[in-house]
């Protein structure tokens, strides 16, 4: 199978040509998902090593902010940990006459983080939903010690925030006393320092936290690959049109064995096995 020439994308509408004022032949501009920031930065760094004279700039800010920048023509690739929302799709259609393209670049498990001194190492999907919606408020209700649970969540601009709300909370509202922390790395730090805390984020983020089992299944690469772990998602690149030039070459490389090797090294799940 020739992975260098295979794109994983979904046509979301009829594409029509449109020009970009920000594109330069040797610069690729990328912005969006905080979950994907370390991954995209690592991909950019390795790509630039292999392609001297090419610049790939990467910024975070959240999925929603990245999609907004893409729609406004400020960047060429938006990184996202979720699908487009209806209002975003409408804005793309209004601006460009198309819903653009989405490239799947990696697979990710949404890990649930707890403090290593917390004895609870497994929750059911129902218990998890009730904890983050304030229907379960004490760790002793799920086999832990008698202490109040502190939920830690991402901000509403985050694709991870919305994905968790839609797929784990089943559309219910987060607990009102949840602590909002903008970046995943800071959620990890908070959980490290607070024994009663519970948070969430990509499985690629490491630290002195426990990635607990959900429905008795660990968030491991094998369990993500075979869809056994219950909280799984794809990570995306969005473009407004079919990519050309250096943008196309960068996306080609990300989907190649070389790029997918970087995906694995950063703790995410490559789309296929790489022998590099």
pLDDT value for 275: 52
Note the pLDDT tens digit of each residue in 28-77: 999 999 889 999 999 999 999 999 999 999 999 899 999 999 999 999 99
Query: What CATH number has the domain bearing residue 189?
Result: 3.40.190.10
And the tokens for 175? 């607990």
pLDDT value for 76: 97
Residue in 52, 91, 65, 78 with CA at minimum distance from that of residue 251: 78
Cβ(107)–Cβ(149) below 8 Å: no
* pTM for this model (two decimals): 0.79
Residue in 99, 92, 87, 80 with CA at minimum distance from that of residue 14: 99
**How far apart are the C-alpha atoms of 43 and 256, rounded to whole Å?**
11
Give the mean pLDDT of the chain: 89
Report the domain count for the chain.
Answer: 2
Domain membership of residue 258 (yes or no) is yes
Whether pLDDT at 115 is above 70? yes
Give the other-Cβ count within 10 Å of 115's Cβ: 20
176 φ/ψ angles, rounded to the nearest 5 degrees = -65, -30
pLDDT value for 205: 81
Average pLDDT over residues 188-199: 98
131-140, 217-226, 245-254: least confident range: 217-226
**How far apart are the C-alpha atoms of 77 and 84, rounded to whole Å?**
14
Whether pLDDT at 8 is above 80? no
Residues 88 and 173 in one domain: no
Residue 180 structural domain: 108-225
Residue in 212, 205, 257 with CA at minimum distance from that of residue 230: 212
And the tokens for 111? 């890990």
Residues 206 and 249 in one domain: no
As a whole-number percent, the residues of the chain with pLDDT over 70 amount to 90
Residues 146 and 197 in one domain: yes
pLDDT value for 105: 97
């Amino acid at each position: 199978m020739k992975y260098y020439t295979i794109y994983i994308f979904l046509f979301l509408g009829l594409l029509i040509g449109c020009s970009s004022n920000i594109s330069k032949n040797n610069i690729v501009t990328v912005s969006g998902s905080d979950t994907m920031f370390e991954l995209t930065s690592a991909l950019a760094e390795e790509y630039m090593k292999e392609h001297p004279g090419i610049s790939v700039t990467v910024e975070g800010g959240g999925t929603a902010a990245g999609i907004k920048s893409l729609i406004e023509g400020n960047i060429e690739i938006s990184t996202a940990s979720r699908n487009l929302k209806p209002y975003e799709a409408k804005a793309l259609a209004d601006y460009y006459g198309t819903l653009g393209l989405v490239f799947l670049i990696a697979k990710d498990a949404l890990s649930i983080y707890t403090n290593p001194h917390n004895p609870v190492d497994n929750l059911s999907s129902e218990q998890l939903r009730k904890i983050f919606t304030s229907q379960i408020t004490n760790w002793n209700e799920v086999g832990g010690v008698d202490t109040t649970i502190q939920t830690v969540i991402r901000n509403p601009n985050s694709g991870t925030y919305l994905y968790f709300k839609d797929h784990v909370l089943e559309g219910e509202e987060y607990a009102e006393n949840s602590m909002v922390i903008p970046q995943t790395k800071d959620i990890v730090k908070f959980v490290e320092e607070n024994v009663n805390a519970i948070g969430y984020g990509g499985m690629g983020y490491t630290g002195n936290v426990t990635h607990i089992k959900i429905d008795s299944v660990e968030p491991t690469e094998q369990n993500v690959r075979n869809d056994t772990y219950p909280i799984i998602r794809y990570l995306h690149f969005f473009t407004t049109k079919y990519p050309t030039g250096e943008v196309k070459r960068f996306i080609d490389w990300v989907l190649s064995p070389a790029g997918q090797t970087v995906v694995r090294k950063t703790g995410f799940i490559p789309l296929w096995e790489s022998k590099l």
